[in-house]
Structure 1
């Protein structure tokens, strides 16, 4: 196998996309550390892709049962996190996110007094295990003469989530709700900072390896020095490989993964297989980067063939079926098309819908 195919194969394995035996959404989210989730439906599939026999309903049930939670734990971006981990991850990463957003707060006219008033208002509005939609949360602020215009509202919600006050609750129809984290996940525990750093590094390299230090810096949002210290503490439980002069870290125990029959996967937008790395060149030929980048920081859903991104795909719904439209970067072989069809059926099973193609 080539260098890139080796890296791709082991990432597929460590991300639980191949040879997967994980049974529960909680287990995969915990193993991954976090799963990016600003596109909610895409994130459900990102989890389902890695959970044996999962469907969309089962993932939403895990949210309702509060075993996984959606919030802003890293990079100022929504992620799913295991409920048991949310407090220590926010304690570790929240202060840096808040500090980095200071300029944006200034642009929006958001000062510490505004955040303090908002905090008090939301405690009163949500205490007693209440959940409110975003519109209702904004109305709480507007009623107190705190403007939510021009992205002020979402930045207030994000800041208070990063502080550990708020998190997402259950969906009400198609509307997302917010709850008090202390009531929604009362059992979440904190960790000493060094232990939290080491644990985050171990989770990342165990689930995303082979990966480099700079990938972990990108993914976590830690400073380079903090990320390096975290890796140093986790090294006794990791292995390293030097590939093309660069050091990659991965779990100590991984099986030998040789050549296998052609296999395809349909990964969603913002899947950890791509977004979890600063350097994606091992699985995505740089000449196709712009084809996967939808602009404005958006990533298209991608077609993987043996771990390499060879196309993108879109879905629509028609007459009780999911319609999948592939856009290949190069003409696929018959074996690749056959593998793509199998992967599409896997996605249809997750949605519990038949699949058609255009």
Structure 2
């Protein structure tokens, strides 16, 4: 497996490429943004609208929703947004929210503990704040952050404490995302948006986490899974072994090269994959007419897309030839790719009724790349639902 094959297989598993067969799963290929989240288990949602673009572009173009439709699915609670796994925003399916939080909240809480001590978020005082939050959102009342801050008036919390109180309320399964009010996000009662479920042993939860991680991100290493989930290497290595057992070998470790002792360009000795996805990818490779795995196909991915954030640094598979160190984020924040390799940056900005999409290329495009880039710009415009003015900077080599 060379670097090109690794990129091809990951793009396919991620849902960014299609073919004769979609990656196999009991539920079939995704047809809605909620399906994408369910298959992916958790999708980083730090940038709210860009993360919705990441969900939409994993659906067939003919059925692709616009941003308003994805936002409406979040408002209806078909997709929830909360702090889970690594302590950052993630989109999750309602049926997965409870067990994912139960599994990862203790570890995320330890990461947050320094800030909680700094702001006195502990004991009876913290309990009163969380009780006030619970009362404020009870009965289907969705509250903005400002409204929740008001219910704490008189409790004497210092400036800066609010963000960590809200995260604590999420970790303790008091609050979760609600319906937006204009451009403001809200919080709702956790138990009103998340179905009940029995507690799960941690080893069982981690085995499912490993299995579903590989469904949409394999081939990947134990280190990739650790970086993505926040769990230790010891935890995830045990989880991968358990996932292999419980799937009858569908989750499997890739064989090492007999001479070099390495697996392709990854340079790791513990790449794992979902064999059913690998079989679907192989079928796609045999049907060249159906394949859209073009080395000159351009993708405009949001900065925290799972194709980027689903793997551990330095993420050599996505870096341009000759670049060994990680590419440092800059503005424009988002990443432009050709054939799964980064070739520049991009971003959209909105000022009043004007929306501008700016592209900063690192090299000149080929004719086919230019055609593909213009096509995906049109897809972004359709997603945003407004006309987009395009600005292309001069080539800025790394």
TM-score by length of 1: 0.91
Task: Specify which of 222, 232, 256 is matched with residue 223 of structure 1.
Answer: 232
Alignment of structure 1 residues 28-39 onto 2, 5 Å: 28-39=36-47
1:88 matched to 2:99: yes
Q: 1:136: which partner in 2?
A: 147
Q: C-alpha offsets along residues 148-196 of structure 1, whole Å, 9 cap, x if unaligned?
A: 512x100010011012111110110111111110012234664332221
Quote the offset at 1:28 in angstroms.
Answer: 0.6
Q: Which secondary structure does the structure 2 equivalent of 1:101 belong to?
A: helix
CA RMSD for the aligned pairs?
2.2
Q: Are the counterparts in 2 of residues 83 and 188 from structure 1 also a CA contact under 8 Å?
A: no
Q: Which moved more, 1:185-194 or 1:153-162?
A: 185-194
Q: Distance in 2 between matches of 1:177 and 1:330?
A: 42
Q: Secondary structure at the match of 1:170?
A: coil
Distance 1:189 1:41 in 2: 33
Relative to structure 1, is the Cα distance of residues 335 and 319 closer, same or farther in structure 2, using a 3 angstrom cutoff?
Answer: farther
**CA apart distance, 1:277:** 1.1
Alignment CA distance shift 1:148-1:33 (3 Å) = farther
More strand by share: 1
The 2-side partners of 1:321 and 1:309 are apart by 28
Structure 1: state its 5+ residue gaps.
none
Q: What's the counterpart of residue 284 of structure 1?
A: 319
Q: Does 1:63 align with 2:74?
A: yes
Q: 2: distance between equivalents of 1:36 and 1:333?
A: 32
- Mapping for residues 1-358 of structure 1, pairs under 5 Å: 3-19=2-18, 22-52=30-60, 53-143=64-154, 145-150=155-160, 152-187=161-196, 190-235=199-244, 236-241=249-254, 242=256, 243-244=263-264, 245-246=267-268, 247-253=270-276, 254=278, 255-256=281-282, 258=285, 260-261=293-294, 262-279=296-313, 280-285=315-320, 287=323, 291-294=327-330, 300-317=333-350, 322-358=355-391
User: How far is the alpha carbon of 1:74 from its aligned partner?
Assistant: 1.6
Contact preservation (8 Å) 1:118, 1:141: yes
In structure 1, the partner of 2:259 is none
Structure 2: stretches of 5+ with no match in the other structure: 23-28, 257-262, 392-398
Cα distance change on mapping 1:189 and 1:34 into 2, 3 Å: farther
The whole-number CA distance in structure 2 between the counterparts of 1:72 and 1:146 is: 25
How many Å apart are 1:288 and its aligned residue? 8.1
Query: Is the contact between residue 215 and residue 276 of structure 1 (CA under 8 Å) also seen in structure 2?
Result: yes
Rounded Cα–Cα distance in structure 1 between residues aligned with 2:3 and 2:113: 40
Distance (whole Å) between structure 2 residues aligned to residue 349 and residue 68 of structure 1? 22
Q: Distance in 2 between matches of 1:328 and 1:105?
A: 43
Number of residue-to-residue matches in the alignment: 352
CA contact (8 A) 1:70 1:78 kept: yes
TM-score normalised to structure 2 length:
0.83
Give the Å deviation of 1:290.
6.2
Equivalent pair of 1:55/1:350 in contact (CA under 8 Å): yes
What is the CA-CA distance between 1:45 and the residue it aligns to? 0.8
